[in-house]
Chain A
Amino acid sequence: MSALALPNRRVEDWKYTDLRNAVDAEAVEAAGTATWSVSLSGAVEQNVLPEIMPYGRHGEMGSVAASHAASGLFLRVGKGEQGTAHLSLSQDGHGRVLIIVEDGAALILRETAAPDGFVNVAFDVVLGNGAHLEHVRQTERNEAVRVRDYSLRLAQSATYRAHFADFGAKLSRTELHIALEGEGAQAHLSGVSVLGEAGHADVTTRITHAVGNTQSTQLFKIIAGGKSRGVYQGKISVAEGANGSDSRQTAKGLLLGERAEIDLKPELEILADDVKCAHGAAVGDLDPESLFYLRSRGVAEAEARALLMRAFLEDAVAEVADETIRAEVWSRVEAALAELSE
């Protein structure tokens, strides 16, 4: 059996995340099937994967997951229903998840925990007319190599809100392929990566405004200390005729040391005439004037640094709509910041 050609830094989309360097192709080939512990409430049905999966665009590793996972998870929320699902990955390997939120239905999806090994999961998500998905993922810092490839298709007036809090792994890649296929569809993505030591976190988004009057916003913040590396790559494509599309994309990095690295790469591809697109990306370090101001008011240096880092992340975490989940994200973020400011 010939080994897989794993994406590596010579592949443009994987320039900052060299999977080949992090894991053996043989190990990827030989990896088993991922399993989750699932907790559901409300009107969420859990099933085995159907024979025929909806088509959604994936990246290289999403396709590998789809072909290597022996089984998977299928969650469905029926028309007009509501529910919540909490997925906690319990066994590493290749995995496949299908989520369908039917017309007018709403789902809150939480993902937590991650085993230490190799994880490669392809998610296919379909949101019907007016469907609503609130998605928050929070992963623990460990030495895992994990790739999550989400493919989402949004019908008319569907809304997807997602927040990704990543604290680094040996390699952590989050890929989002989002197709806004119906008028009024909206995707609001946010995330924070708080990285220290040799941690790595890569968020790569591909949003297509396939039709007009669709909206996407992105707000990603990365703090990198130690020898860590944080990556954000975001490509927005506005299809021909998708007039009235509105997209905003902001990525900011805060570098804490000379050995850390942050790579931000926003891209726009606009084929329509009448669109609003704004994007910005910037990497800086902690502002010495702000630090001095706080210290001159009695705030000790480590606390002042943590306060400024928290402030840097504030608007991104504020995007988590659910107050309880937001508080949990904050408490994890604050613990990570305390480690970084020591």
Chain B
Amino acid sequence: MLQIDNLHVAVAGKEILKGLSLSIAAGEVHAIMGPNGSGKSTLSYGLAGREGYEITGGSIRYRGEDLAAMAPEERAAKGVFLAMQYPVEIPGVTTMNFLKTALNAQKRARAEKEIDALGVLRLVREKAKALHISEEMLKRALNVGFSGGEKKRLEILQLALFEPALAILDETDSGLDIDALKVVADGVNAMRSPERAMLIITHYQRLLNYIVPDRVHVLYAGRIIKEGGKELAHELEAKGYAEIIREAA
């Protein structure tokens, strides 16, 4: 599904990712763990195609295509979804209208039939329930005045609605209390499927107790320095990043 090979990404002329390689097959859930400043957000933005994240070397192949050559909207239409660490507040656009616009924009780009307002409403309601997202929340302006937990749940609602082939979850656990974390993790787990790949980017091991990964990669200074199964997350929690970094050096 996703092959990242020797990826170099620079932000404002400064190289942040320095030869990152990673491969995820359909049906797998991988976790990337790393301390602050290791390049986690740069990786997620680079995959989603944010302006200013310049690929200076290496390649990103998604289903055999060059992901880096695609505009962000093209990536979304082809099934790449990034749940952001800091979802943006957009006053003047209701959440429901945003969901409808985005869903149909993706469908249009794939030459699929668009869904009418009522159909989207039904679909959203059905998915929103499991995530404890109220009607009232959907009527509010996108993310405006939402709590941290509400914002993250809305990201997961989009995951459920768009049904992407590749989901990247950037620090989805940050700012969540334990109950909200469980709701979000249940939402993500419900989306696990043999056709779908997921990349969970996180600083802490906590989220991985609820969304159990197949593979864990440790990111440090722009490179993967260690890989392992789910037990690596526990090892990290026990030893701390400093110890693992020392061992890998």
A contact set with B: CB distance below 8 Å? 287-290, 292-301, 303-304, 307-308, 310-315
Question: Contact at A300–B91, with CB atoms within 8 Å?
Answer: no
Question: Contact at A301–B92, with CB atoms within 8 Å?
Answer: no
10 extra interface residue pairs, beta carbon distance < 8 Å, beyond A298-B103, A310-B93, A314-B93: A288-B51, A290-B90, A293-B87, A293-B90, A296-B50, A299-B101, A303-B105, A311-B90, A314-B91, A315-B92
**Chain B contacts of A314 at CB under 8 A?**
91-93
Known A303-B105, A307-B101; judge A295-B92 contact (CB<8 A): no
Q: Cβ of B77 < 8 Å from any Cβ of A?
A: yes
- Give the nearest-CB partner of A295 in chain B: B72
**Chain A contacts of B82 at CB under 8 A?**
296
Question: Contact at A293–B84, with CB atoms within 8 Å?
Answer: yes
Size category of the B interface is 20 to 34
Question: Contact at B91–A296, with CB atoms within 8 Å?
Answer: no
Q: Cβ of B186 < 8 Å from any Cβ of A?
A: no
Partner of A295 from B71, B90, B158 at Cβ < 8 Å: B71
Q: Cβ of B11 < 8 Å from any Cβ of A?
A: no
Q: Is the interface of A mostly helix, strand, loop or mixed?
A: helix
**Chain B contacts of A311 at CB under 8 A?**
90-93
**Chain B contacts of A295 at CB under 8 A?**
49, 71-73, 76
**Chain B contacts of A313 at CB under 8 A?**
92
Question: Contact at A297–B88, with CB atoms within 8 Å?
Answer: no
In the A-B complex, the 6 residue pairs with the closest CB atoms: A311-B92, A314-B92, A298-B76, A298-B106, A297-B102, A295-B72
Smallest distance from the beta carbon of B106 to chain A beta carbons, Å? 4
Question: Contact at A298–B73, with CB atoms within 8 Å?
Answer: yes
Q: Cβ of B162 < 8 Å from any Cβ of A?
A: yes
User: How would residues 37 to 75 of chain B score, 1 for a CB under 8 Å from any chain A CB and 0 otherwise?
Assistant: 000000000001111000000000000000000011101
Give residues 156-170 of B contacting A (CB, 8 Å). Answer: 158, 162
Q: How many inter-chain residue pairs (CB < 8 Å) link A and B? A: 75
Q: Cβ of B130 < 8 Å from any Cβ of A?
A: no
Question: Contact at A301–B84, with CB atoms within 8 Å?
Answer: no
Smallest distance from the beta carbon of A315 to chain B beta carbons, Å? 7
A157–B75 CA distance with the chains assembled, in angstroms: 57
- Give the nearest-CB partner of B158 in chain A: A297
A289–B50 CA distance with the chains assembled, in angstroms: 9
Question: Contact at B90–A308, with CB atoms within 8 Å?
Answer: yes
Give residues 5-60 of B contacting A (CB, 8 Å). Answer: 48-51
A303–B90 CA distance with the chains assembled, in angstroms: 15
- Give the nearest-CB partner of B164 in chain A: A298
A185–B77 CA distance with the chains assembled, in angstroms: 54
A214–B60 CA distance with the chains assembled, in angstroms: 63
Known A299-B101, A300-B105, A314-B92; judge A292-B50 contact (CB<8 A): yes
Q: Cβ of B109 < 8 Å from any Cβ of A?
A: yes
Question: Contact at A292–B92, with CB atoms within 8 Å?
Answer: no
Question: Contact at B102–A290, with CB atoms within 8 Å?
Answer: no
A290–B72 CA distance with the chains assembled, in angstroms: 13
Query: Could you name 24 residue pairs across A and B whose Cβ atoms are closer than 8 Å?
Result: A287-B88, A288-B51, A290-B88, A290-B90, A292-B51, A294-B98, A295-B49, A295-B72, A297-B76, A297-B106, A298-B73, A298-B76, A298-B77, A298-B105, A298-B162, A299-B101, A299-B102, A300-B73, A300-B109, A303-B101, A310-B92, A311-B90, A312-B92, A314-B93
**Chain B contacts of A301 at CB under 8 A?**
71, 73
**Chain A contacts of B93 at CB under 8 A?**
307-308, 310-311, 314
- Give the nearest-CB partner of A287 in chain B: B88
Question: Contact at B76–A296, with CB atoms within 8 Å?
Answer: yes
User: How would residues 84 to 127 of chain B score, 1 for a CB under 8 Å from any chain A CB and 0 otherwise?
Assistant: 10011011110000100111011001000000000000000000
A298, A300, A303, most chain B CB atoms within 10 A: A298
